[in-house]
Amino acid sequence: MTIIKRTGEWLQIIVPDEWDGMTVDNLFREVWEAPKKLTHQFRSENKVLLEGDRVKWISPLVSGSKLLLHLFEDEASQIRPTYHDLDILFEDDHVLIINKPPFMNTHPNDPEKESDSLINAAAFYLLSKGESANVRQIHRLDRDTSGAILFAKHALAGAILDRMLEKREIKRTYIAALHGRLNKRKGTINMPIGRDRHHATRRRVSPSGQMAVTHFEALNEGKQKGFTFVKAWLETGRTHQIRVHFSHLGHPLVGDVLYGGEPIINRQALHAAKLEFIHPFTKEIIICHAPLLDLPDIFQAIDLNSI
């Protein structure tokens, strides 16, 4: 674990043994893989200090020394803060994980006209704590899907987490209730997904679509006759991916009328139950389970902590 401590607007990092001999340039470009523009900003604005002095970006670091990063300056809000009661699953100076309720957009489709999305609520939450920072969304969920969503609280954390998501180093595990019984208990669905030209919001399996890979494993079937409960985790993050893949196999999600599910409940039975990743600065393993905020009758047989 890397030893870090916030000091005002600065983050103090005790240089770990694995960074010994690296330069700050190596750190930004190779370890954190920060964008060139952000790296240039840290360098040109003297936002990195070593033992309290301006750092030389090409000089080797020594383990045990104190590296300071200017991470926590005030930012003008780019999103309209709007109050909404939130279920916070994890928070520190760098990341925020929220259990999104169903029937709420992750972000506004039109920021000028809409302000009732999760990111608006997250902005209000941080502002109410005296944190003038632009919260950065790392991934999203469909409006009617509930569960864990990861946000970054400053630009460097956002850049690192974006890269981790691209490299599939952030694992998102969902639970879903499907119509019918699967032919096999576990497997991988590797089918490209593209837009449905006959429907504005639908997606479909299409040879010309983008690569989409979903792994799944059946859970206990509970008391609901004709349902199969699965946990699923993604290698890609295509729009409606889980919904499209299982519908294509003939097992649409319960409640997902857009893809052939029966309207037994008022939304698709899909919940982002678990989020896990290595913290970008402390290197701790972060695991969050998101409790269900609705659908107790559908998912009552599922032990979320065992997912």
Annotated active-site positions, please? 142
Strands (DSSP E) along the chain, which ranges? 4-7, 10-14, 48-50, 53-54, 66-70, 88-91, 95-100, 136-137, 146-152, 171-179, 186-190, 193-195, 203-205, 213-218, 227-234, 270-278, 285-289
Q: How far apart are CA 51 and CA 39, in angstroms?
A: 20
Q: How far apart are CA 82 and CA 153, in angstroms?
A: 17
Q: How many residues does the chain have?
A: 307
What are the residues facing 233 on neighbouring strands?
173, 215
What are the residues facing 175 on neighbouring strands?
231, 271
Handedness of CA 204, 207, 212, 217 (dihedral sign): positive
Residue 93: phi and psi, rounded to 5, are: -70, -10
Q: How many angstroms separate the first and last alpha carbons of the chain?
A: 25
Which residues fall within 8 angstroms of residue 118, CB to CB, at 6 or more apart?
Answer: 84, 98, 100, 104, 105, 106, 107, 149
Strands 146-152 and 270-278, by their bridges, are parallel
Q: How far apart are CA 50 and CA 58, in angstroms?
A: 12
The answer to whether residues 282 and 16 touch, using CB atoms and an 8 Å cutoff, is no
The answer to whether residues 57 and 24 touch, using CB atoms and an 8 Å cutoff, is yes
Distance of CA 65 to the CA centre of its chain: 32
Q: How far apart are CA 177 and CA 271, in angstroms?
A: 10
**Amino acid identity of 21?**
G
Supply 50's token pair: 């070593």
